Structure 1
């Protein structure tokens, strides 16, 4: 399990670093749009959650997954397998969000300091990096971000 955790942390790093420091490279652009790269990150989560449910079931004889209460979520995340699934979930969604921020920064010709800052904070704190980008966009353009394009 520790090996999978280390792999999960290492797998997306080349793309994060490329989006921050090699934004004009053709491979960076392709990887940021790649359903394969983002799909692999999502598949990691699926594998981790299946493993967490199986471990939970084997220890109690039945699945007791409860995501509808705070206590249920706390209990689920308190096991090593549950924590790994939660971490894989965050990494996959942060990578998806970071790739979207990267593409939007290129689309709107955002300054490089903003792209790096937003991506760094997305990598480290998730939604805070997204908020940095959205605040810049709102201040720069004064309108709602056309998310569908």
Structure 2
């Protein structure tokens, strides 16, 4: 498999989606496209790679004799990322879910009246450091928009 090409393509695709998410005017009309063409394409790419890899139909390009993949042990998880295929597929997983969270943050922030100038730095943190960006947004919502229980519901 051309893992480097797949990695580059998905990274570029995600970056384009993030730029559209952060800077497109009339975001309410653009968000469905970013959702389906951004998250959807990344999720489809992930599925089209992980399923054949797990079935043994494609090679991950990793070294022979490494520890078997095992989600219950650190060494097993590290083994998953010890190949070009595993690292690429894992990265696509991050890209898809971080973009999904970014879309939720942007949509929620729009609903609650946050200006784009406030949103863009938070979206940057979601893009670069996923959970930290989400945490920043939840802190912002909790401290500026009323009751904490209303700030954490994904509405």
Bucket of the pairwise TM-score, normalised by the shorter protein: 0.7 to 0.9
Residues 1:147 and 2:153 aligned together: yes
Please tell me whether the aligned partners of residues 42 and 89 of structure 1 are also in contact (alpha carbons under 8 angstroms): yes
Number of residues of Structure 1 aligned to a counterpart in Structure 2: 147
Residues 1:127 and 2:144 aligned together: no
1:114 deviates by: 2.3
Aligned to 1:3: 5
Aligned to 2:88: 84
Please tell me whether the aligned partners of residues 4 and 84 of structure 2 are also in contact (alpha carbons under 8 angstroms): no
What is the 5 A alignment of 1:49-88?
Answer: 49-53=50-54, 54=56, 55=59, 64-88=68-92
Q: Which whole-Å CA distance do the structure 2 matches of 1:87 and 1:51 have between them? A: 17
Aligned to 1:39: 40
TM-score, with length taken from structure 1: 0.83
TM-score, with length taken from structure 2: 0.81
Q: Which whole-Å CA distance do the structure 1 matches of 2:16 and 2:25 have between them? A: 12
RMSD: 2.7
Q: Which whole-Å CA distance do the structure 2 matches of 1:108 and 1:23 have between them? A: 17
Residues 1:118 and 2:122 aligned together: yes
Once the two structures are superposed, what CA deviation does each residue of 1:76-132 show, in whole Å capped at 9, x if it has no partner?
111111111110110010110111111011010113232101111111111111111
For the residue of structure 1 that corresponds to 2:148, the secondary structure is coil
User: Unaligned regions of 5+ residues in structure 2, if any?
Assistant: none
Q: Which moved more, 1:20-29 or 1:3-12?
A: 20-29
Once the two structures are superposed, what CA deviation does each residue of 1:6-59 show, in whole Å capped at 9, x if it has no partner?
110111223211221124245423324x44542221112222323543326xx8
